Amino acid sequence: MTTIDFTAEVEKRKEAMLADLITLLKINSERNDDEADAQHPFGKGPVAALQAFLAIAERDGYTTKNVDNYAGHFTYGADLPADAEELAIIGHLDVVPAAAQEGWETNPYEPVIKDGNIYARGASDDKGPTVACYYGLKILKDLGLPLSKKIRFIVGTDEESGWGDMDYYFEHVGLPEPDFAFSPDAEFPIINGEKGNVTEYLHFDGKNAGEIILHSFKSGLRENMVPEVATAVFSGKLADFEEHFTQFLSYYGDKNLRGEFKQDGDTYTVTLHGKGAHGAMPEKGVNAATYLCAFLRAMNFGGGAAAFIKVAADKLLEDHEGEKLGIAYIDELMGNTSMNAGVWSFDENGEGKIALNFRFPQGNSPERMQEILRKLEGVTDVTLSAHIHVPHYVPGTDPLVATLLSVYEKHTGLKGYETIIGGGTFGRLLPRGVAYGAMFEGETDTMHQANEFKPLEALWKSAAIYAEAIRNLPQSQKSREHPRTA
């Protein structure tokens, strides 16, 4: 096999790669259900990003396919024998909300390069890595290097919400499923195991029965984001309210909580500010909703409002593994269950609802947790999300894993190792699917956070890794007998 200096090849394409990335980063591709229709299944932004990416691929000579604005792909290696295996590379172009997230120092959709980093929503998750991987393949195409397998480069538009893009894509694309896959949407050296993922919704009666009336409670943007802002509106006669609120903030001073309130007669509007983080790592954030409920816990609420606040303050505050709830579970291979209380609502004319997003290992199950949660005092029902992902693992002995690790070791000089995470990536869409990069060890993780950024050097380096990895991945025994995991 001809030796290629892939780092040097990336160097030649830095400006073009950065320009294409900026094109995509300027597109606000947050899901917007208010704009959803037959032509825009998740809103106009995700469709715009998909069309822009496919236009880039067409410019570079690929034949693309847009599957009804849900997802799209292009292929490479059509001249290979019909029985050649197919590698899928699966990225996504949608992003988590930024506009309603506090702390941005720049416009999240006007990319800024500062101190060697590119700042924008999607720079790290997942437009930056997707473009780096695209250029890794482009290098192989530009050089005319022979491959032993076909390539299908797929991009989705709903990874951050319900994965409806991939459900639709695989059902309607009209092609056999690829034989193996990787997704550039996580960390190096590799993610070859992912915990299961389910959201369980706690329902509460919206009625009040105490001296203090809870009118509304709102917090959270997405189930997979730690809520950084929470607001409650309530009324009643309260003495020394400002003093108690100040003392509360002081008591939790190590959490750097910020808060303010407005008083209109006996009606109070209280807002608490914590710290956002990815829902797969809730311990990295400060959940504003749980702390606000801890403040409200001492007040004389009643009925469903009291149950809503009590469960939050007594069972969810500062517990990221569900120990207080009784659902904690640890597997020797996959580790613990993690929990993120991501989206909250209470309406005095309706109901209260808390969305608990669980990342669970093999041995635990949504049904086990649901049964336990239904026994919580004051909970009227527990329902499950429509999409449930079961635990997923590709053994380290698989040639897919072994090859990717060897390329990582060559380019970094570091020892590769298997990793299992709580996050969910498109790598799990196929039985032989993994996540591979593009965050390096020691790199600051800003996914789902304000001021998201990606070091440019990390993008260049990952592009070189992707080029060599795509080239080196061998054909192996076909594995179509297993259904796609969902």
pLDDT value for 476: 56
pLDDT of 356 > 60? The answer is: yes
Report the Cα–Cα distance between both ends of the chain, in Å, rounded: 37
Report whether pLDDT(16) > 70.
yes
- Mean pLDDT in residue range 201-218: 96
Contact predicate 407/380, CB 8 Å:
no
Task: Considering the candidates 94, 125, 160, 177, report the single residue annotated as catalytic.
Answer: 94
Q: What's the rounded Cα separation, in Å, for the pair 231 and 262?
A: 11
CA atoms of 445 and 196, how far apart (whole Å) = 22
Residue 258 to residue 406: CA distance in whole angstroms: 47
H-type alpha helices, 173-240: none
| pLDDT tens digits for range 99-157 | 778 899 999 999 999 999 999 999 999 999 999 999 999 999 999 999 999 999 999 99
* pTM, two decimal places: 0.82
Angle between helical axes of 44-59 and 14-25 (0-180°, round to 10): 160
What average pLDDT does range 449-457 have in this prediction? 96
pLDDT tens per residue across span 273-295: 999 998 999 999 999 999 999 99
Radius of gyration of the chain (CA): 24
Q: Active-site residue 58, yes or no? A: no
Evaluate whether 104 touches 98 at the Cβ level (below 8 Å).
yes
Q: Which of 159, 194, 228, 452 is catalytic?
A: 159
Q: Tell me what pLDDT residue 475 has.
A: 65
Averaged pLDDT for residues 21-40:
97
**Is residue 94 among the annotated active site residues?**
yes
- 482 has pLDDT over 70: no
Contact 66, 72 (CB under 8 A): yes
- Per-residue confidence (pLDDT) for residue 480, from 0 to 100: 40
